[in-house]
Structure 1
Amino acid sequence: MPDVPRPYRIAPRYLANADADDSEALRPLLDAGWARIQDEEGNTFVTAPDLRARLAHLPGSDGRVLWKAGAGPDAFAPPEWLVTFDNQTPPEVVANFTTALANVYAHDSDTYLNRDNRTVGADRRLQLLTDGWSLDPATPFLTYRSPDRLVRLHVRDTPLRHEAEMAGDTERWLFEVGPPGQVWYATASSRLPEHLLQVLTTAVTDPSPVQRNMRRIDLDHLPPAATATPSAPNSLEAARIRAATTRSISFPSSHRSSPDSPPAPIGASAATTPRRSPP
């Protein structure tokens, strides 16, 4: 039988891969009435009704940044802040941030902006140290590490040029998530409003599980600290599994016995699965 993708719950979610529906990160803004346009390269741009806030989804770009969000004082002004997510970021993280943007627009769009243009302090505002985070003295700027050492928050505490931050050349806040070789990044500039910075921090560090459809070989590519628990497929996933299984059974026996055939699918009743030990 083919190695059919099966639904798994991956925890913590910041160690899940980015192979999920990107449209879920756009949905909160579209549901709030934001306008969407798409260019010929497949990039999507979503703009708030007041034309001051915008989100870009950039699968057609050459760089690693997949998502950009920003806002300015009016439709013609340059952005006051910039948030980015790279192409390995779990889309659920981006969706948390876009949900916050949609809520801001629905209640008071003026809170898009940091009216005082002040930089939020890490110790006082994010309260990471009280949650078991530790300060790493070995880096040239402030670096906070999560208790599991898999999330690093780098804070540049030196003056930064606003133009350089808006160009993406530097950033005030850099989240680095995952073990070596499997790292994804999110960034935020100095003037991001405090409440949105808190949303971003919570979204990046949320340990709750997310669902991914994975094959046996995919489980081996999860970070060692991730766990994969088989979950019951929804009706659409179940239909796909049945269809794939039916097709495999209809193959001639010579094909099924081929040495190149992939292993059988994992049993639905398997217990929680560490990365290196798929059932």
Structure 2
Amino acid sequence: MTSQPYPHREIDGDVYVSPRHLASSTFTGDPALAPLLDLDWDLRHDEDGNVFVSAPDRGVRLGYLPEGTDDGLWRITAYADPFDPPAWGVCFNNNAPTEFVTALTTALAAAYQQGPDAYLARPQAGTDERDPLLAIVPLLKQGWNFDRPRPDVFAIRAPDHLAVMEYTAGNLHPGAELTTRTARWHLWAGTSIDHPLWYATASTNTPLALLTALTQSVADPTPLLRWRQVTSSYHKGMAQLTPIPAPVPKRPTPLDVHRAVGLRRPAALPTANVPRWSTTSQSAAPTPRR
């Protein structure tokens, strides 16, 4: 899809956002929850509006936490044993594009149906099928470039330099991977790692299938649909916004004109039989606006 950038002050209503890593959240969790709820996972919520979803065997848990203690809106963890620490964990903050979360939960639902060997499958460096660095292949195919921001970090950066996926080498603290941004995988967008537009993290043992589903969604060149007024992430000079053109009115055909003329009431008929609006008439209910 090709388009020209528009001045942001002139844009209103629904827009297409490109590149999609600058689209921010849709601020509704339903699309990302749906793949798991379709498998009849248990859904609960607390009085603050936080939502908790658990697999039937309690092997995977998801928290949608709009009233959590930090900006980690989505937290997903998997367990080899319900009483063990998480085998892996993924976090998306509150501004992460919902489509990226949905891509991961869709892959998670497919892996769960295959069993623990799939949703607990650890990546293995140096293998042909489970090397963790295979997760960056979708990004490489879209022109992302390698970078080395720090000695222990390998990164791949978007062509516009406004999104980065980092892989940290060496040993990491398992607890820190689950509760901070110091994780094996760190995906973020914006101009500053300290103040990103949004971020996502994935711990060391996150299955390759889930990582790849995420990077495929990020790399997809298709713009994302957003409502312009409800987001603050479309910074001038960064995202390209394309207004959705208004539908072109259909031109009446000769047959339409003929039917319209044929249905008109002759002027000679008495007007007493023609209903008219009066102060006692009930007006139609207004059509609700978004």
TM-score (norm 1): 0.73
Change in Cα spacing, 1:244 to 1:117, as seen in structure 2 (3 Å) is closer
Unaligned runs of 5+ in 1: 235-240, 246-279
Q: Which of these residues, 158, 177, 180, is aligned with residue 189 of structure 2?
A: 177
What pairs up with 1:112-151 in 2 under 5 angstroms? 112-115=119-122, 123-127=133-137, 128-129=139-140, 131-140=142-151, 141-151=153-163
Question: Which 5+ residue runs of structure 2 have no aligned equivalent?
Answer: 1-9, 248-285
Q: CA deviation at 1:124?
A: 4.8
Q: Secondary structure of the residue that 2:150 maps to in structure 1? A: coil
| Identity percentage of aligned residues | 36
Contact 1:122–1:155 (8 Å) recurs in 2: no
2:25 matched residue in structure 1: 18
Query: In the TM superposition, what is the alpha-carbon distance from 1:201 to its structure 2 partner?
Result: 1.9
Deviation, structure 1 residue 165: 1.9
Output the CA distance in 1 between the equivalents of 2:246 and 2:62.
32
- Aligned residue number for residue 220 of structure 2: 206
Amino acid at match of 2:239: A
Range with bigger deviation, 21-30 or 78-87: 21-30
| Shift, 1:107, TM fit | 3.4
Number of equivalences:
236
Deviation string 1:116-165 (CA, Å, 9 cap, x unpaired) is: 77697565553354653322234332122122212111111111122332
Find the partner of 1:190 among 204, 229, 254: 204
Deviation at 1:213, TM superposition (A): 2.0
Contact 1:117–1:191 (Cα < 8 Å) also in 2 = no
Counterpart-to-counterpart distance in 2, 1:169 and 1:151: 16
CA contact (8 A) 1:123 1:129 kept: no
Task: Give, as a single letter, the amino acid of the residue that structure 2 aligns with 1:194.
Answer: L
Q: Does 1:152 align with 2:164?
A: yes
Deviations 1:6-37 (A, max 9, x none): 22222222211324422211111111111111
Note closer, same or farther for the CA distance 1:191–1:207 as it changes in structure 2 (3 Å cut): same
Separation in structure 2 between the aligned mates of residue 138 and residue 188 of structure 1, nearest angstrom = 19
Of 68, 73, 87 in structure 2, the residue corresponding to residue 66 of structure 1 is 73
1:98 paired residue among 96, 105, 110: 105
Separation in 1, partners of 2:135, 2:289: 51
| RMSD between aligned residues | 3.2
Contact 1:126–1:198, Cα closer than 8 Å, also in 2? yes
CA shift at 1:63, angstroms? 0.8
Alpha-carbon offset, residue 244 of structure 1? 5.2
Q: TM-score, normalised by structure 2?
A: 0.70
Q: 1:130 to 1:29 in 2, by over 3 A?
A: closer
Provide the rounded CA distance (Å) in 2 between the counterparts of 1:192 and 1:42: 27
Which structure has the larger Rg over C-alpha atoms? 2
- 1:52 is aligned to 59
Match of 2:238 among 222, 225, 228: 225
SS of 1:175 mapped into structure 2? strand
Deviation, structure 1 residue 67: 0.5
